[in-house]
Amino acid sequence: MIEEGRALFLQIAESVEDSIIDGSLAEEAQAPSTNELAAFFRINPATAAKGVNMLVDKGVLYKRRGIGMFVAPGAGDLVLAERRTAFADRFVEPLLIEAKKLGLGPDDLSRLILDRANAARGAANEPTEGVAR
């Protein structure tokens, strides 16, 4: 669950953001507390607090005095926009580099992506065939 080599507070913040993106943590819902996060991930509470504070600074969470942390309105769009920007760096860039090694140009790549996407859609449309085997 926790990876080596990356700051823990970033990983804690990302796990909360993941819950917001997949909808399990709705806007205006109460977010897990620092202590709950520390206990769940078995990490130092100060580190968990650093992750939560980062989300507050970014406007993803906000504090209701005496009650706890809540998901800010618009947090979903905010996180999604940020992840989409990072998507090109994290996934497309390495894809291009590996493709170049194999002699595949950008046009070949886009054709491959479309073929795969179509195949996946086709398989989804004929579910009975998959079940029969």
Which residues lie near other proteins (CB under 8 A)? 2-9, 35, 38-39, 41-47, 50, 89, 93-94, 97, 101
Nearer to other proteins, 97 or 131 (CB): 97
- Nearer to other proteins by Cβ, of 11 and 27: the residue is 11
Q: How far is the CB of 30 from other proteins (least distance, A)?
A: 19
Residue (of 8, 6, 4, 54) closest to 31 by Cα position:
54
The CA distance from 84 to 9, in Å, is 21
Nearest approach, Cβ of residue 94 and other proteins (Å): 6
What's the Cα-to-Cα distance from 19 to each of 5, 12, 14, 54, 86, rounded to whole Å? 23, 11, 9, 16, 18
Element (H, E) at 8: helix 8-21
Measured from the CB atom, the residue of 40 and 114 that comes closer to other proteins is 40
Minimum CB separation of residue 130 from other proteins in Å reads: 36
